[in-house]
Amino acid sequence: MKILITGANGQLGREIQKQYGKTDVELLLTDVTDLDITDVLAVNKYVSENKPDVIINCAAHTQVDKCESQLDLATKINTIGPKNLASAAFSIGAEIVQISTDYVFDGEVDKNLTEFDKPNPKSVYGSTKLEGEKLVRALNPKHYIVRTAWLYGDGGNFVKTMLKLSKDHDELKVVNDQIGTPTSTVDLARVIIKLVREKNYGLFHCTCKGVCSWYDFALEIFAIRNINIKVTPCTSEEFPTAAKRPKYSVLRNYMLELTTGDITRDWKEALKEYLADLDA
Ligand SMILES: NC(=O)c1ccc[n+]([C@@H]2O[C@H](COP(=O)([O-])OP(=O)(O)OC[C@H]3O[C@@H](n4cnc5c(N)ncnc54)[C@H](OP(=O)(O)O)[C@@H]3O)[C@@H](O)[C@H]2O)c1
């Protein structure tokens, strides 16, 4: 089997490479310099020449606040890129994996959200990702759309930011009124690989298990690392950002539960392993 990974240098792209690296799958690894997913001609040419069986799109504009002032760029990367890939995959009978986000929801109800709940994005990032989902679904029936949240892995992320800040601060304020689930790229990549192996098409939520705020997440990072730092909870209003974020965007992995089985771990267990690997 031949798999094309776009955005292969990102957090998820690197983890998927690592996990497939232990198998006999042939990988075609591209990032923006080799294959810009927003360039329809380049995508069509690459796909028709290389003929992957599956395209896993790990490319995205993930800077949520910057997206607010970069609507065109966010639309190109998060909506048009997935469209180009889904359609190129369809033209050769290949499958497409598109990664999406909890930010497609408004997060205004304290309810764990399933694939059957209605999205209502409040940010440019969330709405451009949702439009990407829709086009992938419309253009290629052999699709896996996987929504995740609060992702960390090999790249810049909240865990690394907290560790860095703790080096030169005695006290940190962290938002305590946004609730979600930190998710390791290890768990997400395992699920994606399983879905592809089982040809289990459709829309899936995939986060680790459990629920916390960014404040709880920070406390857990420092507890595991034995870092002595004062962490004070604050509200989103005290920490204004360009993009509005959902207050409660806990995803329930309902479709995984009902189909292939939910193999994700509790968020604290996954975090512990991640921090141990960072040490190593
Ligand atoms: N990070 C999160 O907390 C989070 C939460 C929910 C969902 N997700 C979704 O999960 C997926 C993976 O996220 P991630 O954290 O692994 O992302 P990431 O680390 O930001 O990686 C994205 C990669 O895409 C590349 N890229 C950007 N524009 C491109 C283009 N036009 N063509 C090809 N490649 C391009 C980036 O290159 P440059 O770095 O050079 O721009 C980067 O290597 C994304 O779909 C994201 O929306 C992420």
Q: In the 3-class helix/strand/coil scheme, how is 162-207 assigned residue by residue?
A: HHHHHHHCCEEEEECCCEECCEEHHHHHHHHHHHHHHCCCEEEECC
The closest residue, in CA terms, to atom 26 on ligand 1 is: 59
Check if 178 has its Cβ closer than 6 Å to any atom of ligand 1: no
Percent of the chain with pLDDT over 70: 100
Report the pLDDT averaged over residues 251-259: 98
pLDDT given for residue 41 in this prediction = 98
pLDDT given for residue 6 in this prediction = 98
Query: Which two three-digit tokens encode residue 34?
Result: 């080799």
Q: What are 14-54's pLDDT values in tens digits?
A: 999 999 998 999 999 999 999 999 999 999 999 999 999 99
Compute the distance from residue 142 Cα to the ligand 1 centre, in Å.
22
Look at residue 279 and tell me whether its pLDDT is greater than 90: no
Report the pLDDT averaged over residues 181-191: 98
Strand partners, 171: 230
Domains of the chain: 2-157+181-211+249-266 (3.40.50.720)
Q: What are 91-123's pLDDT values in tens digits?
A: 999 999 999 999 999 999 999 999 999 999 999
- Total length of the chain: 280
User: Catalytic residue among 20, 46, 125, 248, which?
Assistant: 125
Check if 31 has its Cβ closer than 6 Å to any atom of ligand 1: yes
Check if 11 has its Cβ closer than 6 Å to any atom of ligand 1: yes
Compute the distance from residue 77 Cα to the ligand 1 centre, in Å.
9
Cα distances from 200 to residues 150, 224, 226, in angstroms, run: 24, 36, 41
Q: What does the mean pLDDT of the chain come to? A: 97
